[in-house]
Amino acid sequence: MTEIDYARLAQLSPFELKDTLISLASSQASRTMLNAGRGNPNFLATLPRRAFFALGRFAVEESEMSFSYMPEGVGGLPHLDGITGRFESFVARHRDDPGAAFLRRAVSYVRDQIGLPEAEFVHEITEAILGCEYPVPPRMLKLTEKVVREYIVKEMVGGLLSSADVDLFAVEGGTAAMTYIFNSLRENRLIAPGDKVAIGMPVFTPYIEIPELSDYRLVEVPVNADPEMGWQFPQAELDKLADPAVKVFFVTNPSNPPSVKIDAKGLEAIAAIVSEKRPDLIILTDDVYGTFADDFESLFARCPRNTALVYSFSKYFGATGWRLGVIAMHRDNVLDRALASLPEEDRKALDERYRSLTPDPRNLAFLDRLVADSRSVALNHTAGLSTPQQVQMLLFSLFALMDGKDSYKAALKKVIRSRKKALYRELGVPIDDDANSVDYYTLIDLEKVTLGLYGRDFADWVRDTQNPTEILFRVAAETGIVLLPGKGFGAPHPSGRASLANLNEYQYAAIGRSLRGLAAELHGTFLKSGGRRDAAPQASPIAGTRTSKGEGPGEERGAGITSHAGMTKEEP
């Protein structure tokens, strides 16, 4: 058996460590691996996809009609004149197609509820889905932005902010958004090596790793959520934001992996610090899981002028492969004011950087600089998210806006919460009843599980004698289950992150039983040692050759379980 250096592996990012865990979990041909570490959902929104393909058929007809004198297979650009009538004829001919029926209602909604001109809107999305023009404007298509903005304000802000005050930049998912933001902050002299960045912990692990890169060399200030407070931020931790040396506060809300939204008290406390002590504080909030929460409210709602909001469509709509996201900013924001107050030497350098874009670069907004920087400035004229991607984003937004009863949201909440109940029911420990929990992920706390199953003496023995990383390797090798280490996300206690989005309910029940069986094995070792904490823990084969039954309530682990989980990397 090859000896594994757990101390060295513990230094890896969880998303790199997972490849080794997957290899161990897949080592037995008779057992199917269950990758509970993967955040890619196994659910998705179908109706807006049906609408996308129906719109594609209409768009191709429009293209062929505009070049009807050409041979078959050659089309032209869609014509604006008469397009509304032709669209109405198309959806009438395809009235039995759910996608076409959705398009008909969507166009009516855009016209009557948002107040956009019908012909211009139909023409914009028809041309966009064909992908036959560069994105114009490059930041986001004009009418598409207005619709998506309504969705973002509804879901993230809850009516506390006028949509007219918000601008969007359409980007290739949430990770691209963060990459662009950090890059533009650096390029525009708003952050520099040695500056402090506060990070709400635990957090999606790349957000811990990015500031440490040689590109940025920022000093990280952890703002730690307290698990004993339901993963809310204590006031003493939030008070770290009052330090004027902290330039940026980065937070995921709801959190990843605790999957808990910041409560009203926490939002109020942060807003008070910004208002009373830090009006210059830059806030970056990644709210990808906000649409899974009950009554969600973003920091963007409380501190709109200080906050850049990042939202990805990937998880809620099951669209990780589409790469769809937006950066939202208030038109009157602290970033633009910070640019205006830079030293003259820096302002002259930035004048030179952006002089090819405008004769007055000093008035170029930070959001427009983001667009330019995303294409190294010189290629700004070809910037922007592909237009077919923008159309799918638009249709996802309309799907949610038109769902007056939030039926889709309720269905997804029911799915992931039923999975969580199944996991913890079979694991044999109670679920924390928390109104702020979103349940996309769950942190399986090693101490809580061992304490709940066998009491304090056993929990203390596990804490003192077992390597948490080794336990995850044993879980993978002996049960075929992949969990990611909570430590890599900044969690304060040994734990494993399990996604509740990518497997089926019976599989989560099987995971609970398997983990309970492994705990029973450890408890047997504890009893044989007499509870001695200086006793060497029982060796276990890491090659993954065991399928033994656990002592007590566990069953044969890994048997008869199927999984559709893949092995690709993920975003938040």
Residue-wise DSSP of 120-181? HHHHHHHHHHHT-S--SSSSS-HHHHHHHHHHHIIIIITTSS-GGGEEEEEESHHHHHHHHH
CATH for the 46-133 domain, from 2.40.30.10, 1.10.20.110, 1.10.4160.10, 1.10.10.10 = 1.10.20.110
State the Cα–Cα distance between residues 139 and 128, nearest whole angstrom: 14
If you ran DSSP here, which 8-state letter would residue 260 be given?
B
Q: Do 468 and 446 touch, CB atoms closer than 8 A?
A: yes
**What's the pLDDT tens digit per position in 213-270?**
999 999 999 999 999 999 999 999 999 999 999 999 999 999 999 999 999 999 999 9
Containing 201, the helix (H) or strand (E) segment is strand 196-201
Identical fold, 6-32+406-529 and 46-133: no
Which residues, 6 or more positions from 414, have their beta carbon under 8 angstroms from its beta carbon? none
Q: What is the three-class DSSP state of 339?
A: helix
Q: Do 478 and 5 touch, CB atoms closer than 8 A?
A: no
Pairing of strands 325-330, 166-171: antiparallel
**What's the pLDDT tens digit per position in 445-489?**
999 999 999 999 999 999 898 888 788 888 888 888 888 888 777
Q: What is the three-class DSSP state of 222?
A: strand
Q: Which two tokens stand for residue 34?
A: 């269950």
Containing 327, the helix (H) or strand (E) segment is strand 325-330
Sheet holding 246-252, edge to edge: 166-171, 325-330, 307-312, 282-286, 246-252, 196-201, 219-224
Cis preceding-peptide flag for 135 (omega within 30 of 0): no
Determine the residue type at 58: F
Model pTM score? 0.89
**What's the pLDDT tens digit per position in 527-558?**
998 877 665 444 443 333 333 333 333 333 33
State the Cα–Cα distance between residues 53 and 489, nearest whole angstrom: 39
If you ran DSSP here, which 8-state letter would residue 449 be given?
H
pLDDT at residue number 270? 98
Beta bridge partners of 17: none
Task: Tell me how many degrees the CA angle 523-529-535 measures, rounded to the nearest 5.
Answer: 115
Q: Which two tokens stand for residue 206?
A: 């790349």
The CATH code of domain 135-402 reads 3.40.640.10
* Domain ranges, ordered by start, for the chain: 6-32+406-529, 46-133, 135-402
**What's the pLDDT tens digit per position in 21-52?**
877 778 777 677 888 888 899 999 999 999 99
Q: Which two tokens stand for residue 454?
A: 């066998």
pLDDT at residue number 8? 62
Task: Tell me how many degrees the CA angle 191-195-200 measures, rounded to the nearest 5.
Answer: 95
State the Cα–Cα distance between residues 177 and 192, nearest whole angstrom: 19
- Helices 118-130 and 47-66 pack at an angle, to 10 degrees, of 90
Q: Which two tokens stand for residue 135?
A: 């994105």
CATH for the 6-32+406-529 domain, from 3.90.1150.10, 3.40.50.720, 2.40.160.100, 3.30.110.30 = 3.90.1150.10
